[in-house]
Each structure stands twice: as structure tokens, then as C-alpha cells.
Structure 1
Amino acid sequence: MEFTMKEVGFQTTLPYGELHVAGDEAYGFRPYQLLAASIAVCSGGVLRKVLEKKRLHVEDMTIRADVKRNEAKANRIEKVHLHFVIQGNGLREEQIAKSLEVARKNCPMVQSVEGSIEVTESFELVTDRKVECG
């Protein structure tokens, strides 16, 4: 990837479109947002593949990424908590918990930040009848 400077921030053109990155979100995505999004979406994508391989049907999935930063140390990201809301029929809490463990071990972004950013996960399982939390 090649980034070119613009009045505020930088931009690059990728096959899907232009990506604008700046410290001010009025001019593009902030770098910490992209890092947190990479961790969340990579983890969610790997989880989806794990569930598909187990032949578990997920109707919908939402991921909330809560980011903790340390202002005293260059405002670095120290923790990302991912909360998955997974909807589907016939899903069990223990299946999802085990699948999350597998996804964590196989997510390139989570593995890339291991040892420098704490990544934790939790989930809610939404079925026709009830919500279970793990």
C-alpha cells in the first residue's frame, strides 16, 4: 500500500475504493479506529468460518469493540474488548464459547497484537426463545 499526503492526513486507493486516514475524524478514519476495526472484523470473520465448518447456522452477528487507550503513554491502545451478539436457531452457549477460542487462535489480527494489546471476548446468543450470555 502506498499513502499520499493530503491537506489533513493521508489517503490510499485500494481495489474497493479510497481510504482516508487522519488524526481528525472529520477528514478520515482515525488510525486507532482502523486498528480496532481490523481486530474486530478479522475475529468475526474467522468466527463465522469456524461456525460454518461446524455446520452451525448464524442468521446475524454484531460485534461491539470497546477500546481502552492510555493517554499517559502516547494514547496507545491497551485493551480491546469484543462483544459478539450472535443470532441463530439451535445454537448452544458451549458451542459458541469453544468456537470463539478457535477463532482467537486463528485470527491474524488478534495474533499480531498478542503481547501488546489485551483482547478479550464475550458474547450473547440470541435464539427464538431467549438470550444467553457467555
Structure 2
Amino acid sequence: MRQIHGLEKLAGQQSGRLNAPKLADLLLMDLRQCLCSIYGTIGDDDKVLLAELALLPDSLEYEMFDQRIDFIVAGPILRNDCVPLIYRLQGEQFALSGRCSMIARVCGVDLYLQRSYTGVIGDVARQKFSLSLPPLLKML
């Protein structure tokens, strides 16, 4: 299940009532250097970094009508000795984490890795993220 980290700390930077445009501004600033780390496990919960995907700067945008932020991260696959199981998308303060899979329709997974995640070392993987702002505002 997707977990959200640092939202309250991020929102604490804004004085007054927080609405979607203000939250979008905070998130756009926070995510401008974000990284998405994809992990697998070997043995008893020893996390292994399989890929680290960095933000494609021109992809970070706020869709005002739908009240969502869309962006793409990309980077090389570093290892392939275990299956991708978890991810962490980390901004300066805001972060998302959860379970991921290369296989569609796996129960309990909140991020399906796109086809560019081939599992071949050196291949560049790309992943699109969309953050809907209304559910985030309800959490505050």
C-alpha cells in the first residue's frame, strides 16, 4: 500500500489555508530534484538497490484542471539479481513509498513498472507518476 511521508512538514511551510494551487507550488518546488529508488530483497529483508531514477526536469507539471502533478523519472537499471518489490520516491521533504512489480495485476501493488523496466543492467527505465492533490489535501 502506498505510503505518504513528509506531507505535514511540507504543508507547514505555508501560512494560511492550503488549497490545491498552493499545495501544487510546494510540491513542484520539493520534487524538482526527486529520485525514485527501486529495491528488491535478498535473504531476510536485505534491501538491494536495483535502479535509481531521476526526475526528467521538463516533465514536472501541474495540471490545474485535474488538480494533479505529473512527472517522469528515468535512469539506468543497476542490478538484476532480484525482483523489484518496493520503491521510494523522495523529494526534499515529501516522499512516497510502497510495493511495485514488473508484472501487471499483482495484488497489493500500487506501482506497476512501465515496460521500459526490462530488468537488463544498463537499460534506461522510465516511470510516470501522477499525484492527485484533492486526496493529499484531505490528509492535512
Q: TM-score scaled to structure 1, two decimals?
A: 0.34
Q: Which has the higher contact order (CA 8 A, sep 6+)?
A: 2
Between structures 1 and 2, the one with greater strand share: 2
TM-score (norm 2): 0.33
The structure with the larger Rg is 1
